[in-house]
Amino acid sequence: MKKNVGNTDRTIRLILAAAVFPMLFILNGPVRFLGLAFLPLMGTALTRRCGAYALIGTSTCEREE
């Protein structure tokens, strides 16, 4: 699969992952597991590949000419 996550998109995903991860430790009860939402955000940011983007045929990568 080709890279389809650009630099700006990648930075936003990393910031959101860093903001969501602490929920695992701060919140109580089952709602704290929303903090696990950092996993797909972090994974797509690090690999620069997003399955949802591939399904809809979009990309936020800069064009290479």
pLDDT in tens, 23-46: 999 999 988 898 899 999 999 999
The answer to whether residue 51 sits within a structural domain is yes
What's residue 64's pLDDT? 56
CA nearest neighbour of 6 among 65, 59, 55, 58: 59
pLDDT band at 9 (very low <50, low <70, confident <90, very high): very high
Q: Looking at the predicted structure, is the pLDDT value of residue 65 above 70?
A: no
Answer whether residue 1 is part of any domain: no
5 and 53 Cβ atoms separated by less than 8 Å: yes
| Domain assignment present for 44 | yes
Domain span holding position 52:
7-56
Task: Please check whether residue 2 lies inside any domain of the structure.
Answer: no
Overall number of domains in the chain: 1
Q: Is residue 29 part of a domain?
A: yes
* Strand residues in the chain grouped as ranges (E): none
**What tens digit of pLDDT does each residue of 41-64 get?**
999 999 999 999 999 999 999 875
